[in-house]
Structure formats: C-alpha cells, structure tokens
Amino acid sequence: MTDQLTIQQIIKQRFQAFFLDIKAAQSSLQQTTQPTLTVVELEQSKTARSLLRVEKQAIVEKNLNTKQAQHYLNENLERLNKAVEARLVEELKDTENLYRKVIGIDEALPELLDFINVKAATISKIELLATQVPWFYQDITKLVNQPKYRRIDSKGRVILVDNLRVALSMFGIENLNPVVVSLALRRWLPQITDPYPQIKLRIWEEALATSIVARKLAAISKVNENQAFALSMFHVVGTIAVVRLYFRLFDTVQREALIEAQQQQQHEQHAALSQLRPSGDFLNSLIDGNAMGVSAALINRMDLKRLFIANAMEEIATHASSDDFSELAQVVLQARGYARYRLLKASQLINEQESKDYVRSLHLPKGALQALKSTDIRTLNFTVAQN
C-alpha cells in the first residue's frame, strides 16, 4: 500500500496534469504502465524489417539534432519564464491592483455578501444592494431562466423572469449566498489561456466541486455551510490571478525579447523565441508557490464583516499542519481533496488502490464518505419558488 505522503504527492501531480489537459494527462498515465521503445525500435515497428547500419546511423543523427534544437528552445523558454516570474511576483505584491484590475472585484460585492448572511436580511434590501453590482441583474436573470428553473403558466407557456426582485425571491434568501458567490466566481474566470484552453473549465470544476462537497461536510461537522461554500469557491481566486498574469506577462516578455533579438540581428534566437509557447509545468509551479497566499490577501481585502472566511483562508495559506487548522479550514481542505479525487476518478486518472489510499488520507468525518458517494459535484441545483 502506498504511504500517505506519497499518495498525496501522486494525486497532486496527477491533478496538475489534469488541470492543463485531460487527454495529455490520460496519455501520460498510460505511458507509465507501458514499455518505452527506443527510437530505433519505433522505426523497426513501422518498417517491419531490419534496418541497415546507415539507416540506423541516420536515425541517431536526426534524433541528436532534434535534441540539440529542443535544448536550445528549452534554454530560451527558461530565460523567458524567469523574466515572467520576476514581473509576476512583483505584481502579486500589489493587492489593490489584483483586486480592481486583474480580477475585477466589484466594490459593492462584499456588502451584498455580508447582508445576505445576516439573519434579518430582506429581499427588498438585497435588491437595493444587488443593483449596485453592475453584472448581477444580467447574470441572475440568465440563471433563473435556465430550463431547470423555468416556470410554466396554466397554458403551458414559459414565464420569462426579467425582474430582479422576482429572481431574488424565486431563489429565496437561503439560497442567495451560493448564488451570488458562484456568479461572482464565474465572472472572474480567465478567458484566454491558450495553448491550454481547458484551464478555465478546470478552475470552475474544482471550485464548484469543492463548494458542493464542503456544504455536505459542513453540515456533518456542524460548521456554517455558507462560510464553507464561499471559502471553497473563493479559495481559487489566487489561482485565477496567477493564471491571468502569467499568460499576459508571457506575451509581453516574449514580444519584448523578439524586438530585442530583431534589433540585434540575432536571427537564430529570434526564430527560437517565435516558437515558444507558455509552459504548463511552469504555470503549475507558480500556482503552487503563490496562489493560496494571493487568495488570502484578496479575501482579506474584501473586508467581509458577516461572511467570516478570511481567517480560515489565512490558515490554509500559511499553516502546514492540520493541527493548526480551524474547523472551517479543515472542512474546506477535506472538501478540496475529495473534489480532486472525484474529478480525477471521472477522467480515469486514479486507480482503485490509489483511490482507497487517498480518500483514507483525507480523514473525512464519520458518515461523510457514504453521503458524498451519491453527491453530484458538477451541478448546482437550487430549489426555486414556483409561485
């Protein structure tokens, strides 16, 4: 049986590969269980005959030239990424710029979230606060008019909702915390992450799955469910910031390097720089080293007065031992671990023994595993009023 430290490392690496590209992750996993053929053996399998010595030598030389060219490209990519990292680290220090420009968190959002989490909240006051968040009306009416929430009149016709108060009332105050939190996160997701177009979806899937699982665990552990949901959604905001900055800065630094190489007539380097693309592995290392701290800084900047999640996020960002975590932080970390396991399992990126070892390492509360097995981690389903 794999020991706990090793299984945690395995799943972390597996999830990082999944984060970038599912098919590539699946292919990589399959290759680790199959014998690796040499260049000559691959050629033999294609031609189904013995190669002449001169053909063998040609293959070796071609492979060597390819390796040398790749080495030169890798050297340039490493220099480019170092320059990107230096600028990225500096930008991550400016929390205000991250908050306003990089992520684009509306100033009215924290007050809306706080009021939703007050026992004396009313739909009329929530409506007043919601109108101050520019995108909210459009997004909540779009949500409430989805087929699964649509209302039908006595003649079987669809009743479209175009009134903010009606939309709020249909979801009900008890559902508005997860509604507002999830709509906000969707707004913050990065849009262009080529050559890894799946990243936007991966961030959303992890945040959504973690939030759904966290609500279940919070109910079992007697922890505030709204806090668990919100922290589970917002804990990825640092990842969003790093992703947004990395792709933007990579384009900027590459463009500057190309201009410099052209001016200095460094044709070989210019050709190499033109071929470079953002590195998924390097992006993962930047996320691993910076994202949680950025999440803590941004959530702290929100200055939430009623939705108490800032301290737990700070714990997650700074503490290495589970002994140091509050119940809320522990719930979110367990939820994230279980969510990652389920996402990997759905993509056939974790085997049965690894699943058993990893889930056991999460130390879920009694009865949680059974409750979570039948939980849909990919869809938010709210009960809406039909009258």
pLDDT at 358 over 90: yes
**Nearest residue to 334 via CA among 201, 226, 232:** 232
Token pair in block for residue 40: 């000559």
Kindly state the greatest CA–CA separation across the chain.
85
pLDDT digits (tens, 9 = 90+) for 61-79: 555 556 677 888 889 999 9
Token pair in block for residue 129: 């606060």
Q: Which residues pair with 138 in a beta bridge?
A: none
User: According to CATH, what is the number of the domain 4-373?
Assistant: 1.10.3210.10
3-state secondary structure of 109: helix
Torsion of CA 213, 216, 218, 222, to 10 degrees: -170
**CA neighbours closer than 13 Å in the CB half-sphere of residue 197:** 1
Q: Is the dihedral of CA 211, 213, 219, 223 positive or negative?
A: negative
Residues 106 and 134 sit within 8 Å (Cβ to Cβ): yes
pLDDT digits (tens, 9 = 90+) for 186-196: 999 999 999 99
Of the pLDDT bands very low, low, confident and very high (cuts 50, 70, 90), residue 29 is confident
Residues 221 and 327 sit within 8 Å (Cβ to Cβ): yes
Torsion of CA 152, 155, 157, 161, to 10 degrees: -50
Can you tell me the mean pLDDT for 73-100? Answer: 96
Residues 331 and 212 sit within 8 Å (Cβ to Cβ): no
Looking at residue 93, what DSSP letter applies?
T
Kind of pairing between the strands at 151-152 and 158-159: antiparallel
Q: Is the dihedral of CA 40, 42, 45, 46 positive or negative?
A: negative
CA–CA separation, 270 and 258 (whole Å): 6
pLDDT digits (tens, 9 = 90+) for 269-283: 899 999 999 999 999
Can you tell me the mean pLDDT for 257-273? Answer: 93
Which phi and psi angles does 152 have, rounded to 5°? Answer: -120, 135
Of the pLDDT bands very low, low, confident and very high (cuts 50, 70, 90), residue 292 is very high
Query: What is the chain's mean pLDDT, rounded?
Result: 89
CA–CA separation, 192 and 174 (whole Å): 34
Q: Which residues pair with 151 in a beta bridge?
A: 159
CA distances from 23 to 76, 283, 349 (A): 27, 18, 10
Q: Is the dihedral of CA 52, 53, 57, 60 positive or negative?
A: positive
pLDDT at 214 over 80: yes
SS (H, E, C) 148-204: CCCEECCCCCEECCCCHHHHHHHHCHHHHHHHHHHHHHHHHCCCCCCCCCCHHHHHH
CA–CA separation, 250 and 226 (whole Å): 37
